[in-house]
Amino acid sequence: MTIRLLRVVALVSACAAWSACDEKLSTIAGPTPNLEPTFASIQHDIFESTDSAGRAACTNCHTNVGRNPSGGLNLVHDLAYDQIVNVASARKPGATRIIPGDPDNSYLVQKLEGKAGIVGNRMPNGGPPYLTDGQIMILRRWVAIGAPRN
């Protein structure tokens, strides 16, 4: 009987651990419930779209369509990845916009979080609303897994 009880306890514990790992991103993504830690999703749901909380699309300012992109950063669809990953910041010497695997030292993440030491304003300029903690967490996950072009 004791062995059977131990097996049941082990099975219940394994199920609990498994379900804890099955985090629903839609519950933390807030105003962008389809946001995933992929570049395609970040491009569509963050860079190119205004969200339901009223945060403006990044491409409102960071575009070369009819203007010079703000901060020298162009987030238009086919250019964005090559503008952010392993690219030096135009505004802060020594800073890199996205360092694959290192969200804490990625300057774009710092700008979105409004960290001390950034040059200029927290992004998006004119916020709030800013990205939610959940949106930033998903963006950080994408950077942490190596910022793949997916």
- Over range 121-133, report the average pLDDT: 93
Domain that holds residue 85: 27-144
Beta carbons of 137 and 129 less than 8 angstroms apart: no
Examine residue 64 and state whether it is found in any structural domain, yes or no: yes
User: Is residue 69 a part of any domain in this protein?
Assistant: yes
Predicted pLDDT at 2: 62
Please tell me the least confidently modeled range out of 8-12, 40-44, 69-73.
8-12
Residue 67 covered by a domain: yes
Q: How many domains, in total, are found in the chain?
A: 1
CA neighbor of 59 nearest in space, from 129, 73, 37: 73
pLDDT in tens, 64-115: 999 999 999 999 999 999 999 999 999 999 999 999 999 999 999 999 999 9
Identify which of 116, 130, 124, 142 has the alpha carbon closest to the alpha carbon of residue 37.
142
Is position 78 within any domain? yes
Integer CA distances (angstroms), 123 to 16, 116, 138, in order: 38, 13, 16
6 inside domain: no
Inside any domain, residue 5: no
pTM, rounded to two decimals: 0.81
